[in-house]
């Protein structure tokens, strides 16, 4: 399936089962990339939508890391499709075995769910890896990010609010200081369904909690802010 990447002049080809969702767009919009950044990493890049979006925000080299071969190959196709081979690339490897240092910015839309005896795992192995921590736990991710970021580098991620306390504890354990947080609510007055978090490697203490992002006024009716995000990626 070939279509334009929403809000851009770029194209993306992907299987319907690999289609990216709103999480990708929200994370791209939230992510801050300093002007002098040289290298940006996306952990779990899938077919490459996030690295494509980020290519519109920076001239830095952007590297996707994807463990699943089919999605990795699709990311390579999408890079080539948009003639971005000079700035974008993808690595087919388990991130835990990727040895990079002094990276400026790392982003990730990681698996949200822990694996327990009661976990309702997807029958499809690819979906299981994408949604559940079977290949990469939250602590493994944050530990790797801390080792890979440069001093003062940024890490941005999207996750579930019910794991917010755990995320903050792990960030601080690995010297990643939370700097910005934004909760995402489906409707005004409803509990948050997602949280966007930015941390800095060995940054100074001080976190800004941004105003909540409300997605819908009512069913199928987007708020002005979400409409602006869709159009301004």
Token pair, residue 42, equals 């996306």
Token pair, residue 48, equals 């490459």
Residue 207 confidence (pLDDT): 96
Q: Which residues pair with 107 in a beta bridge?
A: 42, 156
Residue 20 confidence (pLDDT): 67
| Highest CATH level, class, for 2-232 | alpha beta
Written as tens digits, the pLDDT of the chain (233 aa) is 888 898 899 999 987 655 568 999 999 999 999 999 999 999 999 999 999 999 999 999 999 999 999 999 999 999 999 999 999 999 999 999 999 999 999 999 998 667 654 455 555 555 544 554 568 899 999 999 999 999 999 999 999 999 999 999 999 999 999 999 999 999 999 999 999 999 999 999 999 999 999 999 999 899 999 999 987 66
Residue 117 confidence (pLDDT): 43
| Helix, strand, coil fractions of the chain, as percent rounded to 5 | 30, 30, 40
Please give the Cα distance from 158 to 181 (Å, whole number).
Answer: 10
> What pTM was estimated for this model as a whole?
0.90
Residue 19 confidence (pLDDT): 57
Residue 129 confidence (pLDDT): 46
SS3 call for 232:
helix
Helices marked H in the chain: 22-30, 49-54, 69-81, 125-131, 138-148, 164-173, 224-232
Query: Domain locations in the chain?
Result: 2-232
CA dihedral 116, 19, 78, 4 (to 10 degrees): -150
Residue of 226, 168, 218 lying closest to 198 (CA atoms): 168
Please give the Cα distance from 179 to 101 (Å, whole number).
Answer: 22
Geometric angle at alpha carbon 153, from 233 and 196, rounded to 5° = 45
């Amino acid at each position: 399936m070939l279509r334009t990447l929403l809000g851009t002049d770029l194209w993306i080809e992907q299987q319907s089962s690999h289609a990216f969702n709103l999480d990708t767009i929200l994370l791209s919009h939230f992510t801050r990339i300093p002007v002098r950044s040289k290298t940006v990493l996306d952990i779990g890049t899938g077919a490459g939508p996030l690295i494509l979006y980020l290519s519109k925000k920076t001239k830095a080299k952007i590297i996707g890391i994807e463990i699943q071969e089919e999605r990795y190959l699709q990311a390579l196709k999408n890079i080539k499709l948009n003639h971005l081979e000079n700035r974008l690339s993808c690595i087919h490897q388990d991130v835990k075995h990727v040895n990079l240092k002094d990276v400026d910015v790392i982003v990730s839309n990681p698996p949200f769910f822990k694996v327990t005896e009661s976990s309702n795992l997807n029958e499809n192995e690819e979906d299981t890896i994408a949604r559940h921590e079977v290949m990469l736990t939250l602590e493994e991710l944050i530990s790797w990010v801390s080792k890979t970021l440069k001093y003062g580098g940024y890490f941005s991620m999207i996750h579930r609010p019910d794991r917010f306390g755990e995320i903050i504890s792990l960030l601080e354990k690995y010297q990643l200081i939370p700097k910005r947080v934004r909760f995402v609510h489906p409707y005004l007055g409803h509990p948050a369904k997602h949280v966007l978090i930015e941390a800095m490697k060995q940054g100074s203490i001080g976190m800004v909690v941004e105003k909540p992002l409300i997605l819908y006024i009512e069913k199928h009716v987007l708020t002005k802010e979400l409409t602006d995000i869709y159009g301004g990626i």
